[in-house]
Every structure is written in structure tokens, then in C-alpha cells.
Chain A
């Protein structure tokens, strides 16, 4: 392994290269090398690197992922360009760097200018870089150590690749882990272990998790999110002893004397800089090795220090951002690229995903002087908590948990100390859009923004250049955001940026439909006051110049049908084609037919009938849907009535902005884990609320236990049976274009109550949601607590009315397939197209 860098024979002709030795092959050592090479240091120096880990240089940050992914493969083969390796061994060879992996430097002889390795090697240097990083800190504790150097079997630190691999080997046959220390590393370790199905207990000495980054309130939000994910928290207690049995971990004891059984302990109680080498070599050390603004040891101009082992102006950093800045300064000075370069410290802005929860923190956590301003926003239902601290008009700190969408804007304000909006709360809201637009400003013009309709950033900008003055005008012209809708935010940012960043306030955003300049409550009031019962009457009375608007018809039709269940005037031209013919139009102009199959339960008789119909009408494809029923696809419009008649089943409303399906699991009838009769409850819900129309689709599910086989937690309304004969009612979940776990509206103890609250929630949603606003947007907009108050606790005294109006809708139900066996309008089922050959839906 050892070899002293040899001078080439041609020494006389080319000047000898100066010898640069790096001790520590971690993230900052390697980064310093990269920076040095980037400044031509490869020609100037003969470079030798020592690292006491037996690997090339890897990305320590990814250890959390290594642990979570169970990916033994990631670490087995270090020659492969596995993601974790920053620079493969080839990289060292290609750059003429001599790497001694697995060799530890034990002393620096500063007079002789050599470093001494634990393998007996002696290596001369002209310039030395110390990048020895940190190690895990193990607090003194009974049971921690098996010997002077070896931890007790089952006890682990979390710092190195070896730590991660040995944990991975251990979790295979161990079930319960205690993580000592609820800081960033501890929570990452906990999440990683959880991914292996291990029960995880986090022990933290104060009530404030991640207290280095977070203050109490933010930490509380994080804690409840982690607890939701099943992590057990033991806060405000300390571990006093690790209990062992036959040399292996068997539990931990707390300072209050209580015990917790476990077969694994991970110690993440902090880190300590590796400064032993510097100390024995006579360099000034305090918490770490003391350096000047050129990243040099204050004792020796030939020794540079970088990374977690460096103490600069009293600060020791533990995240990579500052280390990168240090490495750049070091390289400037060492290579002479900029001999005057200086490091002045870093303002810490960290953005992390802690166990799946987004966290960002910069500057101070809480106000420190009485004149500091403190802005706080908390939405506990959604697990969001945000604060900013302002001093003398500039941002000196910000903490974001759960929603870090404003981090770019805040970081910019923090770094540039720029002027802040008068209304401070805008820092957490409006400002974001202005600044995120600087993020979208970086996107190349051909970036596809809307993936459904293939609209690029350039297309949107062209729209603005051609005179579009609002987001809605651009989306109308390009249809961006009108597919699955998930790009709407981005579209808005691009357009607003193109409009000059002013974020032109678009009043149309608040309209229920674009063609009538009124928000939903006002529109409903007008409709009621003037007794407007048809779409054309609404346009005549309320639209500018009484003009119809094509994009507003569907929304008005839906609203009127909800408001006047008894006597709405049925103008068929106000309906989308799907709602005119009660089927879903396909790409070739044919339609799909989905009969109702409540709760996803069918029968041999029904299946036989479906089979017969499919055969008789030569249905091109029969398919099981994602909604637990059967789709007959490719039915020509003029055949629809016949197919319905032959099926003799009710409509499944797969076409409408309406109550769709209730997916169920087998529940107590058959499942050995079933806690509630999910199948029956699902059927009952679907029979009752079938076809109820609303602002958007309503999809439900009922699961018989928290294993959640019917995916209830990601439904508009989802019910989950829990122990004790109770049902949890989740609302606002989604797993389509948006993924969102629903919030628990209530926990109830009977089917009747579950059905009633579901109906009440749906009625409230119908009356208050914007057109096309799914519950996943509606619930967070209204706020869970507010919805609970109104719907469960009836704080506004409207529960009975909501129930009554829902009952009225239910009573008025008629099956559209049966009702339209007679044509409602001339040519209702006439073909609109078959006149030329078109791409047909393939027959399988």
C-alpha cells in the first residue's frame, strides 16, 4: 500500500512538482482536490491522499439512503459507478493522484515536513491539507463497549459506510431498535431502520427534536408527522445504560429507572471533530483545528484545514454547504489562482428531508432581541409550520417544516439581506411565487411544462409576447394545466415571470367559472335571489353583456343541478358530451360503458350478462378498472342505449363530475385481519350516494383494517376500520395527478354515523368547493380543523340542513341509462363522426 511519491527521471528538464498531501478522503478532502484540479493544480502538484476508510471517496449524505434502501448492492461493488461513490478509483489514477485507502496518518512531523502512516510509511509534503472530518460521539454509558475499541454487539454509530453496512446486516434478524439522540442523524437512522420493518424508538433528552435546527413549535410539528409514520418517541428522557445478554444488546435503561427491550441500539448523540492528529502534532486546537481566513492552521503556513475538523472564527460546521465554500477558498490560495481569497464564514441555510419530511432552516431559530420581529405560520392539520425572524428590516432566520416551497425566496432574502415586503407574511406566501419564478427563469425554453398537453415554457412565453395578460388567458390559449392539472403551479410561475414578475393579480382566479365574474358564494346568492334555474338564464342575467361562454357551461350546469335538485331546467347543450350520453368519450369518438358494481362486488349472473353483452355487441375491450368494476370500451354512440338495455344494470357514472366508486376490501366477511364489515359499508355508501353530482369527482373507499387494502387513505373520502368497532373517516386524500394522504375528519362507532358524516362532508364540499376543485385541494384550503368544527361539531348549526339537502339529492336520484332509453333531444345518440376512417381503439 505504501509508496512514497517518486520523482520522475526527467526531473532535470521539468521543474519538480511541489508535493501536496491530503489527509482524510471524505467529502471535503475530495472536494478540495476537485477544486485544486479545476485550478490547474494537477500540473503544479504531485498529489497523495490518505484515507483511513478502505474505499474511494463516497457521498456520506447518501448513507441515509443506503440504510433505507437495504441495498447491499450499493456498497458491495465499489468499482461499479454506484451512486454513492463521488469519485471512483479510476478518477484518482486518471488525475495522477496516489491514493492510500485504508492508511491512517498518526503523526505529522512539521520540522521534517513528513506525515507518518499507521503502516509505517513516511511521506514528505510541501503543502499539507487536513480533512479528517468527525466521528460519532458515544456518551459514556454502561454496556456500550465490548472492549476498548469494539462496541457491544448490536450497538452502532452512524457515520461511515461500514456503520451502514453492519446495520443492514443486523436488521435482517432483529426487530426493535432504539435510537439514542433525536437530531438529524438519529431521525435519518430511525427512518432508515423503519424501512426495514423494524420498530423504532427514538430517545431524546429534551422535548425538542432536532434542537440544533428547530425551535420547540417547529419540532412539535415534525414530531407529530413522524409519529404518524409510526415512530415511537421518548422525549425528555435519557438513556443511562445499555442492557446486554450474552454479549448482545437486550434493551436500554432510562434515567428514570424504566427499561425498554430492544435488540439494536444506534447512537447518534452528536459528532466530534477528529483533532487527535493535529493535537499530537502541535497544532492549535479548540473544538476543532483553528484556522485563519485562508483556511490555514494558525500555527503553520504549510498546513491547510478544511471540513468538519476546521474551526473558523469560532464556528465548526456540520453540513456540507460551508465545506464547499471552504474548499474553494483553500484551492484558490493553495494553487495561487487567487492568493488573496478569504473565507469569511457561512450563513447556514439547510434544506433537508428528514425521514421523509421536508425541513429547511437558516440563520437564527427564534427572536433574540426584543426588537426582532417574529412571523409564525402554522397549519398543524397539514403538518406545516413556518417562521421567519427579522431584524432591522432584514431576514436573519427562517424555519420551514412540512412545506419548503418558499425556501428559494427566503434563502435569497437571507443571503442578500435584501429589502423585505412591508407585509411580512408575504415572505411565506406571495414572495415565493416571485422568487420561484427566478427558479423557473433558469429552465430552458424548450422545457415541457404541461406534460399532458405538451406545452413548453417557450409556448407560454410566446403567449405573453403575443399579448396574453393573465395566467388564465395563457392557459386558455395553450391548454397548459388543463390535463391532469398537476403543472398548474408551474404554469402560473412561468406566466407571471413572463408578465414581468409583478404577479399580475388575476381577478379571474376567484371566479367560479371564467365567463361570470363572481365567486361561488356570490354567484349562488344571485342565482337563488333571481331564481335562475337554467344555464342560459344565468348567462343572460349575470354574464357581461349576457354573453354565453363555452368554458363555463359545464360548471354552471353542475352548480344548478346541485342547487335546484327538483326543478333545474335541463338544457342539454349546457352539458359536456359525456353527460349528454352518460358515457365516456374515447379518442376515436366511441364511448365506454361502466355499469355500477357497488363496492366492487359482482355475481356470476352479472358477469354472465356482461359477457353476453360484450359478445353480442362485439365490444372491442372489456377491462377491469382502477375503480373495482368492469369497463366495456369502444361502444359507438348509436349503440349505447341498446347496450344499456341488454346489460340491465344501473349506470356507474364513470363519466360525470360526480360520486364515482366506493372501493372496498373483503373485511370481516373473509379476511383474517378484518375489524369492520368494509364490504357492506362500501355497498351501503355507494347505493346511497350513487351519482351525486358535484364540483369534481368523488371517489371513496372502505378498508376493513389499517392495512388499508382498499387504499382508503388516498381517497376523497376513505373509511378505515380500527380496533374497538370504530371507523376512521379520512377526507381529502388523493392518488391521481396529486398524491395526498387524507386527514382524519372523525372517528365514529357505527355504520350509520359513518354514512351520515360522509354525506354531510360531501354536501358541504358540493356547496363550497370551486368548480373542478377536488377534495385534495378543498380540504387543505378550508383547513381540517374548520371542517371538523362545521361538519362534526356543528359549530355553525348547519349540520341538519346539510343532511337534509343531501337527503333531497338522494331522494331525487334516477338512473340516467334507464331515463334516456327514450331520446331526450333529437339525434342525442346520432353518430358525430364515422364518416371517414379514423384511428380506431385497438381490439385486443
Chain B
């Protein structure tokens, strides 16, 4: 089953940062790197529940603010030995942010 949500203007995410949204029941962190594109990961760090949307990102990975595990924006794989996090699809449609689960 796939859920798709229109989440409002892309501009609500400052360039280079991430913000958290609720898509259905799923908390999703969406990132808007300076290098372009939009990326969505489950918003909760699989390590100890840290808020990934508050993490620093460089377009390649996001670094959880609690213990600095790093997760690839593209597919959620952990680069630092913790579990992977679910990755979702985020796109911009007519200036609007769209996230699809599943």
C-alpha cells in the first residue's frame, strides 16, 4: 500500500536543512540539500530515537544530532554501523513538496 501526501510549499524547508512531517502515521524527515534534490527518511533515528530532521546534512548523508550516526539520504543505509533507516520518495511538484511511502 502506498501513501502519498502533499505537504505544502517546498520553501518551508530552509536550504540545506531538514524538517519533520507526518505522512499518514509515519513521521518523515525531508531534507533539501544545497546540492539539489529532496530526500525523505523516516524521522526517527534507528539508534536511540534521535530526531533526524534536526541533523546536519551535506547532500549525501544526514548526521543524527544525538550520537552522530550517519545515514545515506538516497536509501537510508547507515554508514556508521547502526541499523538502516527507511527511505521514502520526496519530489517537488509545482513548488509543492510531495512524499510517497511504500
Contact = CB atoms under 8 A, between A and B. Distances in A.
Interface of A: 453, 459, 476-479, 482, 536, 547-551, 553-554, 571-578, 580, 585, 587-589, 825-827, 830-833, 835-836, 838-839
B76 interface: no
B5 interface: no
28 contacts: A476-B80, A478-B80, A479-B69, A547-B58, A548-B33, A550-B57, A550-B61, A573-B34, A574-B16, A577-B54, A577-B55, A580-B54, A585-B51, A585-B65, A585-B66, A826-B11, A827-B19, A830-B19, A830-B20, A831-B20, A832-B29, A832-B43, A833-B20, A833-B43, A833-B44, A833-B54, A835-B20, A838-B49
A832 B69 contact: no
Contacts of B40: none
A826 B14 contact: yes
B34 to A, nearest CB: 6
Contacts of B79: 476-477
Nearest to B69: A479
Nearest to A552: B58
A571 to B, nearest CB: 7
B14 A572 contact: yes
Interface string B81-101: 100000000000000000000
Interface of B: 11-20, 22, 27, 29, 33-35, 43-44, 48-63, 65-70, 79-81
Contacts of B29: 832
A572 B32 CA distance: 13
B39 to A, nearest CB: 13
Nearest to A551: B63
A835 B35 CA distance: 29
Nearest to A588: B49
Contacts of A831: 20
Given A826-B14, A839-B49, 8 more contacts: A478-B81, A550-B60, A550-B61, A573-B17, A577-B65, A827-B13, A835-B20, A838-B44
A576 B65 contact: yes
A539 to B, nearest CB: 8
A536 B36 CA distance: 13
Nearest to A452: B67
B66 to A, nearest CB: 7
B53 to A, nearest CB: 4
Contacts of A571: 16
A257 B20 CA distance: 84
Given A548-B35, A572-B17, A573-B17, A835 B22 contact: yes
Contacts of B60: 547-548, 550
Contact of A826 (B13, B69, B70): B13
Contacts of A549: 58
A550 B63 contact: yes
B48 to A, nearest CB: 7
Lowest 5 CB-CB distances: which A-B pairs, in order? A573-B16, A832-B51, A835-B27, A548-B58, A832-B53
A832 B80 contact: no
Contacts of A453: 67
Contact of A825 (B14, B58, B59, B81): B14
Contacts of A572: 14, 16-17
B56 A576 contact: yes
A537 B29 CA distance: 26
A832 B54 contact: yes
Contact of B68 (A479, A548, A578, A827): A479
Contacts of A478: 80-81
Contacts of B49: 588-589, 838-839
Nearest to A575: B56
B48 A548 contact: no
B9 to A, nearest CB: 9
A585 B45 CA distance: 14
A242 to B, nearest CB: 64
A825 B54 CA distance: 13
Contacts of A577: 54-56, 65
Most buried by B among A550, A580, A587, A827: A550
Contacts of A554: 56
Contacts of B22: 835
A578 B59 CA distance: 20
Given A453-B67, A589-B50, A832-B19, A536 B13 contact: no
B55 to A, nearest CB: 7
Nearest to A590: B51
Contact of A573 (B27, B44, B56, B80): B56
Contacts of A589: 49-51, 54
A575 B70 CA distance: 16
B68 to A, nearest CB: 6
B30 to A, nearest CB: 11
A479 B15 contact: no
A448 B76 CA distance: 28
A573 B16 CA distance: 5
B15 to A, nearest CB: 7
A587 B48 CA distance: 8
Nearest to B29: A832
A576 B54 CA distance: 8
A476 B11 CA distance: 32
A832 B56 contact: no
A453 B67 CA distance: 8
A479 B43 contact: no
A833 B51 contact: yes
Contacts of A536: 16, 34
A587 B66 contact: yes
B54 A477 contact: no
A779 to B, nearest CB: 27
B53 A833 contact: yes
B59 A548 contact: yes
Contacts of B16: 536, 571-574
B79 to A, nearest CB: 7
Nearest to A478: B81
A549 B33 CA distance: 12
A553 B29 CA distance: 20
A554 B65 CA distance: 12
A103 to B, nearest CB: 65
Contact of B70 (A550, A580, A587): A550
A548 to B, nearest CB: 4
B14 A550 contact: no
B56 A553 contact: yes
Most buried by B among A459, A575, A830, A835: A835
A448 to B, nearest CB: 15
Contact of B44 (A550, A585, A836): A836
A693 to B, nearest CB: 17
Contacts of A825: 14, 17
A836 B51 CA distance: 11
B74 to A, nearest CB: 14
A578 B54 CA distance: 9
Nearest to A585: B65
B82 to A, nearest CB: 9
Contacts of A479: 67-69, 80-81
Contacts of B69: 479
A482 B68 contact: yes
Contacts of A553: 56, 58
Contacts of B68: 479, 482
Nearest to A557: B56
A547 B36 CA distance: 12
A477 B80 CA distance: 4
Given A482-B68, A573-B34, A550 B58 contact: yes
Nearest to A825: B14
Most buried by A among B35, B53, B54: B54
Contacts of B13: 826-827
Contacts of A580: 54
A839 B62 CA distance: 22
Nearest to A573: B16
Contacts of B66: 585, 587
Contacts of A482: 68
B58 A835 contact: no
Contacts of B59: 548
